[in-house]
Each structure stands twice: as structure tokens, then as C-alpha cells.
Amino acid sequence: MGQNLGLLADEELMQLVRRGQAPAFEAIYERHASAAFSLAYRIVGSRNGAEDVSQEAFLNIWRSGARYDRSKGSVRTWVLGIVHHRAIDFLRRATVHNKRRASDKGMEERFEASDRTDVEVARREEAATVRDAMDELPSEQRQVIELAYFGGFTHSEIAEMLEAPIGTIKGRMRLGLKKMSDRLSGGAVMR
């Protein structure tokens, strides 16, 4: 190929992926697989499920590289958006809705990423910053955000679950996101 793919930006790699170049896709995979798998695991709550979701998502990315629009955000945001979408679909297809999230009980299945590269260290710092921002939210705001984003529940399902009016649930979501956005504004975690 004559190119050091490792030197190319994600957006440049995606142009090669669109032309069907498998090595460019492999480079994209290497950069984002850990984040993708982690997110999938957080949502579906099992290694097998996370593998299924990740595989489905990355094959979708390979086949639909043309859909990536750099004006709408980074490749990482796009990749994780696809993983999130697939994981929530996976959840909604599952018949048992309550046993699927990565609860504390599921922690024994976790295995940490072994690569301690600078990039990995930076990502861990990002993760800590975002978690801090979430931890600072009032518990009722954090709860509705987590139920919606990681649990795949709709506002009406959450309202029913928490026995609260839908308007209250929507209000908590908005306040929580607003506080997080303000807290994170200007930070690298929002790429």
C-alpha cells in the first residue's frame, strides 16, 4: 500500500475504508475496538453479548463507511454511536429485560485492557473525568440518564419504573445533561 496507516487520521483512514481497503479498516478497529467493546459490555452485561454487538457494529462500519460524515463529528463518536445503537437493539431483542446490564454482580466478568499506552492512559483519564461529572449529579438525574442511555429504556418506561410523571423524568434528563455539559465544556472528553 506504501502508506504507514498508523500515521493517518481516522478521517483519512475512513476514505480508504470506503474504497474497500481492509488494512485501513483494521487500523480503525485497533483504535476503537476497546472503547466499542467496553461500551457494548456496559450495555448488554455479558462478554458474549458484547462480542456479538461489537462484531455486528464493526461489520456494519466496514460495509457502510460511506455513511460517515465528518461534519457531524469524529470517527470515534460515529463508531460509538453505531455500537450504542446496536447494543440497545440487542437489549430490546432480549426477552429478559432485567438481567442484562453490567451490574456490580457482573464485574467478575470484566477484564481490564492490558495496553498501557499513552493513548490508553489518556482514555482512562477521560473516563474518570466523565464519571466524576456523572457522580456529581443528583442521584435521581444520574439514574434516569443511565437508564435511558445504558439501559435502553424510553421515558415512559422509566416513568413507570420510578412511579414518576413523564414530565418529571424528562426534566431530570435535561437538568442532568445540562450540568454534565457545563462541567465538561471545553474538555477533550467531548470529542
Partner 1 sequence: MAADHERWSDSVAPYLLGALPGDELAAFEAHMTHCADCREELDALAPAVRALPNSVEPMAPPPALKARIMAEVEREASLLAAAGPEADRPPAPARRRRRLAFGMPRLATLAAAAALLFVGVAIGVGVDQLGSDAPDTVAAKVDPAMAPGAGAEFELGDAAATLTAHGLPPAPSGRVYQVWIKRAGQDPEPTAALFSPAKDGSATAMVPGPLDGVNQMLVTDEPIGGSRTPTGKVYLIASMS
Restricted to residues 86-105, the positions that interact with partner 1 (CB under 8 A) are 88
Q: Which residue of 45, 58, 100, 143 would you call a contact of partner 1, by CB under 8 A?
A: 58
Of 73 and 138, which has the nearer Cβ to partner 1?
73
Q: How far is the CB of 13 from partner 1 (least distance, A)?
A: 13
Q: Which of residues 157-186 bind partner 1 (CB under 8 A)?
A: 158, 167, 169-171, 173-174, 176-178, 180-181, 184-185
Q: Does 67 bind partner 1 (CB under 8 A)?
A: yes
Contacts of residue 49, defined as CB under 8 A and 6 or more positions apart, other chains included, come to: 40, 41, 90, 100
Q: Which of 13, 39, 44, 75 binds partner 1 (CB under 8 A)?
A: 39
Residue 29, burial from CB neighbour count under 10 angstroms (0-12, 13-18, 19+): middle
Applying CB under 8 A, does 152 fall inside the site for partner 1?
Answer: yes
Decide if 144 contacts 172 (C-beta within 8 A): yes
CB of 36 to partner 1, least distance (A): 8
> Any long-range contacts for 74-82 (C-beta under 8 Å, 24+ apart)?
74/10, 74/191, 75/10, 75/11, 75/13, 75/14, 75/28, 75/32, 76/10, 76/31, 76/32, 76/35, 76/191, 77/191, 79/28, 79/32, 79/35, 79/36, 80/32, 80/35, 80/36, 80/39, 82/57
Binding status of residue 3 toward partner 1 by CB under 8 A: no
**Using rule CB under 8 A, residue 68 touches partner 1:** no
Task: Pick from 6, 96, 98, 111 the residue near partner 1 by CB under 8 A.
Answer: 111
Quick check: 25 binds partner 1 (CB under 8 A)? yes
Residue in 59, 70, 103, 138 binding partner 1, rule: CB under 8 A: 59
